[in-house]
Amino acid sequence: MTSSGDDLLKQSLFTQVGPDCDKYGPRKITIIGAGKVGMACGISILLKCQCTDLVFVSVTKEKLRGEVLDLQHGSLFLENIKIHEGDDYSVTTGSSVVIITAGERQHPDDPRLRLAQRNLNIYEKIVPEIARHSPNAILIVVTNPVDVMTYVAWKLSKFPRHRVIGSGTNLDSSRFRHLIAERLKVSPTSVHGWIAGEHGDSSVPIWSSVNISGKRLSTIHTKIGQKGGPEGWDAIHQQVIDGARDVVKLKGYTNWAIGLSCSAILSSIIFHKQSIHPVSCFVKGQYGITEDVCLSLPCVLNSNGVDSIVNVDLTEKETKMLQRSACAIADVQRGLSWKHAHD
């Protein structure tokens, strides 16, 4: 039972998105796509024992069968988690969470609109099938460009906004905290800070709230992370943006970090943790954003999906950057060609 004072405090801290919830959800998890990212998500989920049943769906039948058979051979070590596969969406029926990794990867110098259009064409086939077989599921979208595809999945599924979540800047924020932790010689878990906005070049580092055990770095140096601030700190955000490209140059693709990021998001949902992650969701009306877009802000996640959006205090510059990020996403969305009505 909460007091009126607690209610007032919560109203100031959060923008409520989902209905009240105090229950654990069921434990059948589906992953759409059995490529490197889909399998990284799968192994992260299995090793953390986050489900009783794990289902993989892919159009690459032989590869999928091989991946699942390989995992099933290790079932002795996986707490008796049942692993299933198929190319028919009936196998996904009753999933509590569906993670969508299916889609084409971005080619070098490929415009985001071209990638978004190709993946929209894929989503128009798979999202209605997911919604038909698991109408009460929570969707976690990983396919890039993830903010656009989160919006696409929301429209195609016709699910309420709190049940469609993009992996967003959860991984960007991990990279951000890792880089700061390396400079300060502390654990990333002791660094508190967010990357908001688009998962991409227009992302926004929220330097004003970066803190170590409550001590904000901006109180030590007002230009932390900016030109004219402490040497090298202004390069950290660009290092975050370039992080995926650096990995791709070295090994050809990224998979492990995004798999771990997805399982962290999933953990908060299925175990009703009420923990906060910067994930992509529909944000029109937040911080003066007038576009119909999904982008990342710190969100409280529970077994309903997005419970609420944290009302973070942004500087004027950060607010304008966030609004520009929303416009960049909206520009891509306006260029999309939909085969089916989506309103």
At 142-151, the pLDDT tens digits run: 999 999 999 9
Angle between helices 316-334 and 112-133 (to 10 degrees): 80
Q: How far is CA 175 from CA 77, 79, 171, in A?
A: 30, 31, 6
pLDDT class for 116, splitting at 50, 70, 90? very high
Cα(54)–Cα(60) distance, integer angstroms: 18
Question: Going by C-beta distance under 8 Å and a sequence separation of 6 or more, which residues neighbour residue 60?
Answer: 34
Which candidate, 143, 174, 145, places its Cα nearest to that of 243? 174
Q: Buried b / exposed e across 125-162, counting CB within 10 Å, b at 16+? A: ebbeebbebbeebbbbbbbbbbbbbbbbbbbbbebebb
Q: Outline where DSSP puts E strands in 131-274.
A: 138-141, 164-166, 191-192, 195-196, 204-205, 211-212, 215-216
Residue found under tokens 């995992």 = 71
For residues 210 and 155, what is the distance between their CA atoms, to the nearest angstrom? 34
pTM for this entry: 0.93
Return the higher-pLDDT residue of 134 and 21.
134
pLDDT at 8: 86
Answer yes or no: are the C-beta atoms of 64 and 88 closer than 8 Å.
no
Does the domain spanning 23-166 belong to CATH 3.30.70.100? Answer: no
Residues of the chain with CATH 3.40.50.720: 23-166
For residues 100 and 342, what is the distance between their CA atoms, to the nearest angstrom? 19
- The pLDDT score that the predictor gives to residue 206 is 98
pLDDT of 6: 84
Q: Is residue 147 within 8 Å of 204, Cβ to Cβ?
A: no
Pick the CATH number of 170-334 from 3.50.50.60, 3.40.720.10, 3.40.228.10, 3.90.110.10: 3.90.110.10
For 69-114, write each residue's pLDDT tens digit: 999 999 999 888 999 999 899 999 999 999 999 999 877 677 888 9
Mean pLDDT over each residue of the chain, to the nearest integer: 94
Residues of each domain in the chain carrying CATH 3.90.110.10: 170-334
Average pLDDT over residues 248-258: 94
**Phi, psi dihedrals of residue 72, rounded to the nearest 5°:** -60, -30
For the segment 55-60, the average pLDDT, to the nearest whole number, is: 95
Q: Which residues are catalytic?
A: 199
Quote the pLDDT of residue 341: 67
Structure tokens at 73: 């051979």
Structure-block tokens of residue 328: 């960049």
For residue 10, the model assigns a pLDDT of: 85
Q: How far apart are the first and last CA of the chain?
A: 39
pLDDT at residue 143, rounded to an integer: 97
pLDDT tens, position by position, 180-229: 999 999 999 999 999 999 999 999 999 999 999 999 999 999 999 999 89
Return the SS3 of 28.
strand
Please write the tens of the pLDDT for every residue from 261-272: 999 999 999 999
